[in-house]
């Protein structure tokens, strides 16, 4: 599998991603759009010690009172790459007492040599991201710590992601859960891509202002550099309508760091506590083939 497809250039002292993926033909220039997120409340079920236990997404309710409880998960992670200050910069974390995952791993050590980052590290770590994304547990997530430069990967979902309404609507199917939010969430970029990694539709810059707390409040673990449990932070969430991406359905979503000078983002836009080192999990609401939607059942 071809890795390292991301062009890197120096810009303002930072390593930045440029055109994304190199192709033989012309690369379509994606349009960056201002994201309009929809109001939603996120209901979770939590067990165990705060920050260390399982935190399962139960349902998402939108402003119109409809509640959705069927979710689509990742089935593959491709094109994973990182640039910048490493090692120790990128790792998957899970709460040490959680189930469904074999525990946290750090990128640089995946190949047995923690002194550098190899292609094998990236290949093996992509499988660890997938392991964290395959369930409904919000305490299984991808973590970039403050030393990280930038990251990019493509999440392929187990089923097609379909908008419930191809126009702008109040059901945000794409669910982004971030550890350490409440207005100080991270900036991140979303793009729907085809099987060759080409952008289909818009590049979407997601700002931290859109996030909401879960109910009851969910907490994700923070770890020390040796991956031992340190503390916890609140998980917050953002719901993004599929049509924000300029498509009505997709199978693959590229997620990557917001980079200074790209996609309408400037580090000067960051407010207190905000960063570009996202710690997050992605899930999608399944809006079709639902025999009896949760919102029809009421509470």
Q: If binding is defined by CB under 5 A, does position 169 make contact with Ca ion? A: yes
Question: In a 10 Å sphere around its CB, with 0-12 CB exposed, 13-18 middle and 19+ buried, how is residue 34 labelled?
Answer: exposed
In sequence order, the 6+-apart residues with CB closer than 8 A to the CB of 141 are: 92, 93, 94, 132, 177, 179, 220, 279, 280, 281
Instruction: Give the ranges where 69-164 is alpha helix by DSSP (H).
Output: 119-133
Only segment of 40-48, 74-82, 174-182, 255-263 that touches Ca ion (CB under 5 A): 174-182
- Return the ∠ at Cα 135 (arms to 131 and 139), rounded to 5°: 80
Kindly tell me which of 54 and 163 has the beta carbon lying closer to Ca ion.
Answer: 163
Minimum Å distance from CB 118 to Ca ion? 5
Number of residues that bind Ca ion (CB under 5 A): 14
Instruction: Give whichever of 165 and 194 is closer to Ca ion, judged by the CB atom.
Output: 165
How many C-beta neighbours within 10 Å does residue 215 have?
Answer: 12
Cα separation, 225 vs 214, in Å, equals 27
Give the nearest distance from C-beta 242 to Ca ion in angstroms: 5
Dist. CA 49–CA 33, nearest whole Å: 40
We find the least distance from the C-beta atom of residue 92 to Ca ion, in angstroms, to be 14
Site residues (CB under 5 A) for Ca ion, limited to 94-153: 108, 111, 113, 118, 121
Question: Which residue from 218, 279, 281, 284 is in contact with Ca ion, where contact means CB under 5 A?
Answer: 279
Compute the least distance from the CB of residue 38 to Ca ion, in Å: 8
Stretch that binds Ca ion, among 11-19, 20-28, 240-248, 255-263 (CB under 5 A): 240-248
HSE value, Cβ hemisphere, 13 Å, CA-based, for 64: 9
Encoded one letter per residue, x for contact with Ca ion by CB under 5 A and - for no contact, window 40-69 reads: ------------------------------
Contact call for residues 58 and 69 (beta carbons, < 8 A): yes
- Which of residues 81, 136, 191, 241 is near Ca ion by CB under 5 A? 241
Three-state DSSP class for 291?
Answer: coil
- Chain residues that interact with Ca ion, rule: CB under 5 A: 108, 111, 113, 118, 121, 163-165, 169, 171, 180, 241, 243, 279
């Amino acid at each position: 599998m071809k890795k390292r497809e991301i062009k890197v250039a120096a810009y303002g002292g930072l390593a930045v991603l440029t055109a994304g993926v190199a192709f033989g033909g012309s690369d379509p220039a994606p349009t960056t759009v201002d994201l309009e997120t929809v109001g939603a409340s996120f209901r979770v079920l939590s067990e165990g010690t705060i920050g260390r236990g399982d935190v399962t997404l139960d349902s998402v309710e939108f402003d119109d009172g409809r509640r959705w409880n069927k979710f689509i998960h990742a089935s593959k992670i491709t094109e994973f790459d990182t640039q910048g200050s490493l090692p120790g910069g990128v790792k998957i974390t899970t709460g040490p007492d959680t189930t469904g995952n074999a525990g946290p791993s750090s990128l640089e050590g995946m190949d047995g040599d923690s002194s550098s980052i190899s292609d094998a590290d990236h290949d093996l770590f992509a499988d660890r991201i997938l392991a964290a994304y395959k369930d409904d547990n919000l305490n299984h997530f991808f973590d970039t710590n403050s030393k990280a430069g930038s990251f990019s990967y493509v999440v392929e979902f187990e089923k097609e992601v379909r908008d419930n309404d191809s126009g702008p609507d109040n059901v945000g199917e794409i669910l982004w859960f971030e550890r350490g939010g409440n207005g100080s969430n991270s900036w991140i970029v979303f793009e729907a891509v085809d099987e060759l990694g080409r952008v289909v539709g818009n590049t979407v810059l997601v700002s931290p202002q859109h996030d909401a707390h879960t109910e009851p409040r969910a907490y994700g673990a923070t770890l020390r550099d040796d991956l031992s449990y340190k503390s916890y932070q609140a998980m917050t969430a953002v719901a993004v309508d599929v049509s924000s991406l300029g498509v009505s359905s997709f199978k693959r979503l590229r997620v990557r760091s917001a980079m200074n000078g790209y996609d309408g983002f400037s580090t000067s836009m960051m407010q207190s506590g905000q960063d570009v080192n996202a710690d997050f999990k992605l899930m999608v609401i399944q809006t079709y083939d639902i025999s009896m939607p949760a919102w029809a059942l009421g509470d």
